[in-house]
Amino acid sequence: MVKRPTIADIAIQAGVSTGAVSYALNGRPGVSPATRDKILAIAEEIGWRPSLAARSLTGARVNAVGLIIPRPARVLGMEPFFMQFISGVESVLSANRTALLLQVVPDHDAADEAVRYWWAERRIDGVLVTDLWAQDQRPELLTQLGVPGVLVGRPRDGVDLPAVWSDDATAVESVVDYLVTIGHRRIARVAGLPSLEHTQIRTAAFQAAAARHGLESAPVISTDYTWEEGAQATRRLLTTADRPTAITYDNDLMAVAALSVAHELGISVPAQLSIVAGDDSQLCLVQHPSITALARDIVDYGARAAQTMLDLVEDGQASSQQVPTATLIPRASTATAP
């Protein structure tokens, strides 16, 4: 085991006190240029790196942010969203020498607990809060504990945490408008986890748009985002008397599953049924027919959230921002209503 160098080692070699070394390494006044250069040179030479522990003990930042993902392990695997989001977060964090602490937890309570621990142990400077659900206590918890947090989702009334969000309502509306324009009057929505805030926002927007257009029917079925539930919901919708002529899904995987179910039931897409995916990925492109989808730049979304987090930690405040609204990319899975 190699003993790692400390500022004391540098001090001895440079023939100065550790205090002087500290000043020099931190670019603070109090040392002559000559001494500073000498100290920096020695530090470089012996490969000195600051001890995070020692620094944070004196109250400094720990240069780490937490990301807690409250979803069961198996579900996560097929969600392109998170991996892309994380990639985006990482691109900003690593450029700022900040680590990402990841925790995948099965439920809400575990998520709260994780925040508490990390903060109490001073492991993180702040947390990114994703997958906000309706009665989510995390914003209040963070405020109460004094943990800097960035909400990935709509800003909350009553809590002073910056949010980075996308206007899902408008996006959903644009899908309904599009489908209505090409003649659909019976449109269904297969939603994601009903407890999630953005699911509720989308469902509300969907129903409002449906009402505005005076649609014949606009059923909504909730799922857990998996292929199985997506397929099951589709089967239910397609075996009703007045089956919908168009169905929108809250992610891409379920839309792909829908293609499969339609095929199985002998319903041709897009001639008899139009399908729209709520997230875009290579998955949608690869299908036959390729799937019309709501596309947004998720990597960028993650990057913005991370940047907001850094600003918040740096300045003690940061402003909320909205990322560009998802745009509909029409492909082969949608056509005029039969």
Partner DNA sequence: GCAACTTACTTAAGCGGTTAATTTCAGAAG
Partner DNA sequence: CTTCTGAAATTAACCGCTTAAGTAAGTTGC
Does residue number 77 form part of the binding site for a copy of itself (CB under 8 A)? yes
**Of 209, 233, 259, 337, which lies in the binding site for a copy of itself, with binding defined by CB under 8 A?**
259
Hey, which residues does 135 pair with through a beta bridge? none
Does residue number 95 form part of the binding site for a copy of itself (CB under 8 A)? no
- The tokens of 102 are what? 């990841």
Residue 64's binding partner, choosing from a copy of itself, DNA, none, with beta-carbon cut-off 5 to 8 A by kind?
a copy of itself
- The tokens of 211 are what? 């009402």
- The tokens of 64 are what? 């780490």
Does residue number 25 form part of the binding site for DNA (CB under 7 A)? yes
CA 14 from chain centre, in angstroms, equals 48
11-18, Cβ contacts within 8 angstroms, sequence gap of 24 or more? 13/42, 13/46, 14/38, 14/39, 14/42
Encoded one letter per residue, x for contact with DNA by CB under 7 A and - for no contact, window 38-57 reads ----------xxxx-xxx-x
- Smallest CA-to-CA distance from 218 within 190, 194, 199 is with 190
Amino acid at 243: R
- Smallest CA-to-CA distance from 235 within 204, 273, 203 is with 273
CB of 96 to DNA, least distance (A): 17
- Region near DNA per CB under 7 A, out of 26-34, 83-91, 159-167, 274-282: 26-34
Does residue number 321 form part of the binding site for a copy of itself (CB under 8 A)? no
Nearer to DNA, 44 or 157 (CB): 44
**Residues with Cβ < 8 Å from 193, sequence gap 6 or more?**
133, 199, 222, 223, 224, 225
DSSP codes of every residue in 165-229: EE-HHHHHHHHHHHHHHTT--BEEEEES-TTBHHHHHHHHHHHHHHHHHT-SB--EEE--S-HHH
Nearer to DNA, 55 or 212 (CB): 55
Within 55-114, the residues that bind DNA by CB under 7 A are: 55, 57-60
What span, in angstroms and rounded, lies between the C-alpha atoms of 273 and 257? 14
What span, in angstroms and rounded, lies between the C-alpha atoms of 89 and 37? 35
Helix or strand (DSSP H, E) at 170: helix 168-181
Encoded one letter per residue, x for contact with DNA by CB under 7 A and - for no contact, window 278-317 reads ----------------------------------------
Nearer to DNA, 63 or 320 (CB): 63
**Residues with Cβ < 8 Å from 181, sequence gap 6 or more?**
none
- Smallest CA-to-CA distance from 129 within 137, 138, 120 is with 138
Does residue number 22 form part of the binding site for a copy of itself (CB under 8 A)? no
Hey, which residues does 120 pair with through a beta bridge? none
Nearer to a copy of itself, 54 or 211 (CB): 54
Within 169-228, the residues that bind a copy of itself by CB under 8 A are: 226-227
Does residue number 26 form part of the binding site for DNA (CB under 7 A)? yes
- Smallest CA-to-CA distance from 291 within 254, 332, 251 is with 332
> What values do phi and psi take at 294, rounded to 5?
-85, 115
Does residue number 34 form part of the binding site for DNA (CB under 7 A)? yes
CB of 13 to DNA, least distance (A): 12
Within 24-63, the residues that bind a copy of itself by CB under 8 A are: 47, 49-57, 62
CB of 2 to DNA, least distance (A): 12
Positions touching a copy of itself (CB under 8 A) are 1-2, 4, 47, 49-57, 62, 64, 73-74, 76-80, 82-84, 86-88, 90-91, 94, 97, 99-105, 110, 114, 116-118, 120-123, 145-146, 226-227, 253, 256-257, 259-260, 263, 281-283, 285-288, 298-299
Positions touching DNA (CB under 7 A) are 4-8, 15-20, 22-23, 25-26, 28-35, 48-51, 53-55, 57-60
